[in-house]
């Protein structure tokens, strides 16, 4: 590059961290020389491009910080397969006003019915709305709180889980939680109460939560705070995983339901 003006532009763009503009500059100047767009249009195109690249980077960084188990969008959710899920209600939640209001969303239903998929999809919407999101399984959450407790670092850990605007707690009820674990979980729920949203999934109805925690009092205390400002979505349908297995011919459909029951129990 032997054009001092271009060199200067390059240096300035580098200093301003406008990397996309820097990449595109020579080509866009050439196009502009040919097409002669209005000055404002030329500048606007370059800046739109820069913004789009920055936004994409930010979203992918936030998505990796959210530690989602997989990336599944709302657009990929087949509402036709799961008629008990009200598409309109989910789309309203996707606007993420509930995150701004520190309200909760709870997905209940049998395995394979799309609870985690919907929780992740709402997480991605929240990221797109620039909220900080963190996904954790209930078992991992309790284990990490227990570890922090034994290392005298509980306060630090509690703060860490209270920081994100949306905390997704997946799979409450798959693994029983002992009383100490339940108390630690209660601390998270009560600290986030009216301060930060929780999206939670569970395969067990609320009536069975005292069994999960082995203690009716703590289960009631958790539910009390969780449910006060919440939307509960009860999914009553078939497992999507089994549908796919059936389609692949791994299971017989029709009257012989034994295979389905067994696999259903194993999941
Ligand atoms: P759950 O958490 O209820 O056990 P998941 O959300 O993990 O179930 O769903 C199991 C698998 O099936 C995932 O790969 C998910 O993307 C897919 N799935 C479930 N329900 C649907 C649906 N209605 N449309 C598209 N994919 C679905
Ligand atoms: Mg799940």
Q: Is 241 in the pocket of ligand 1 (CB under 6 A)?
A: yes
Q: Are residues 162 and 179 in the same domain?
A: yes
Q: By the 8 A CB rule, do 86 and 138 touch?
A: no
Please give the tally of structural domains in the chain. Answer: 2
- CATH number of the domain enclosing 168: 3.40.50.300
Q: Report the nearest-CA residue for atom 5 of ligand 1.
A: 114
- 78 and 23, same structural domain? no
Considering the domain architecture, whether residues 104 and 184 belong to the same structural domain is answered as: yes
Neighbouring residues of 115: CB distance < 8 A, sequence distance ≥ 6: 107, 108, 109, 170, 201, 202, 203, 235
Mean pLDDT of 142-153: 97
- Residue 125's closest CA among 74, 194, 85? 74
Q: Is the CB of 112 under 6 A from ligand 1?
A: yes
CA of 138 to the centre of ligand 2 (A): 11
Q: Is residue 132 part of a domain?
A: yes
Percent of the chain with pLDDT over 90: 86
The model's pTM: 0.86
- pLDDT tens track for 117-137: 999 999 999 999 999 999 999
Pocket test for ligand 1, best of 114, 124, 236 (most atoms within 8 A of CB): 114
Residue 127 lies in a domain: yes
At residue 206, the pLDDT reads 96
CA 138, 139, 141, 145 dihedral sign is positive
Compute the average pLDDT of residues 146-160. Answer: 97
Residue 168 and residue 92 in one domain = yes
Could you read off the pLDDT of 59-113 as tens digits, one per residue? 999 999 999 999 999 999 999 999 999 999 999 999 999 999 999 999 999 999 9
CA atoms within 13 A on the CB side of 104: 26
Contact 188, 140 (CB under 8 A): no
One domain, residues 60 and 71: no
pLDDT at 1: 58
Q: What is the mean pLDDT of the chain?
A: 92
CA neighbor of 14 nearest in space, from 4, 3, 25:
25
Say if residue 94 is in the same domain as residue 165.
Answer: yes
Structural domain span for residue 162? 67-236
Strands (E), the chain: 104-108, 133-137, 166-172, 197-202, 230-234
pLDDT at 256 over 90: no
Whether residue 143 is contained in a domain is answered as yes
Same domain, 82 and 151: yes
Phi, psi of 232 (to 5 degrees): -105, 125
Going by C-alpha positions, the residue among 119, 44, 121 that lies closest to residue 76 is 121
**Residues 95 and 121 occupy one common structural domain:** yes
Straight-line distance from the first to the last Cα atom of the chain, in angstroms, rounded to the nearest whole number: 62
Are the C-beta atoms of 98 and 105 separated by less than 8 Å? Answer: yes
Nearest atom (ligand 1) to Cα of 85: 23
């Amino acid at each position: 590059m032997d054009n001092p003006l271009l060199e200067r532009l390059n240096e300035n763009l580098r200093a301003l961290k406008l990397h996309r503009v820097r990449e595109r500059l020579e080509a866009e100047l050439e196009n502009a020389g040919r097409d002669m767009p209005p000055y404002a249009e030329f500048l606007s195109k370059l800046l739109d491009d820069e913004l789009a690249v920055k936004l994409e980077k930010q979203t992918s960084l936030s998505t990796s910080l959210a530690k989602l188990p997989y990336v599944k969008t709302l657009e990929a959710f087949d509402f036709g397969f799961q008629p008990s899920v009200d598409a309109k209600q989910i789309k309203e939640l996707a606007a993420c006003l509930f995150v701004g209001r520190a309200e909760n969303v709870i997905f209940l239903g049998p395995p394979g019915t799309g609870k985690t998929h919907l929780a992740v999809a709402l997480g991605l919407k929240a990221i797109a709305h620039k909220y900080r999101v963190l996904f954790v399984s209930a078992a991992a959450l309790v284990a990490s709180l227990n570890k922090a407790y034994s290392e005298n670092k509980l306060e630090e850990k509690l703060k860490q889980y209270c920081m994100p605007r949306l905390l997704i707690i997946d799979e409450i009820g798959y693994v029983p939680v002992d009383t100490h674990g339940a108390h630690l979980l209660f601390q998270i729920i009560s600290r986030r109460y009216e301060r930060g949203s929780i999206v939670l999934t569970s395969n067990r109805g609320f009536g069975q939560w005292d069994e999960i925690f082995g203690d009716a009092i703590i289960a009631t205390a958790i539910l009390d705070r969780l449910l006060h400002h919440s939307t509960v979505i009860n999914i009553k349908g078939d497992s999507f995983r089994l549908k796919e297995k059936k389609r692949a011919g791994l299971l017989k459909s029709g009257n012989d339901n034994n295979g389905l029951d067994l696999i259903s129990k194993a999941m």
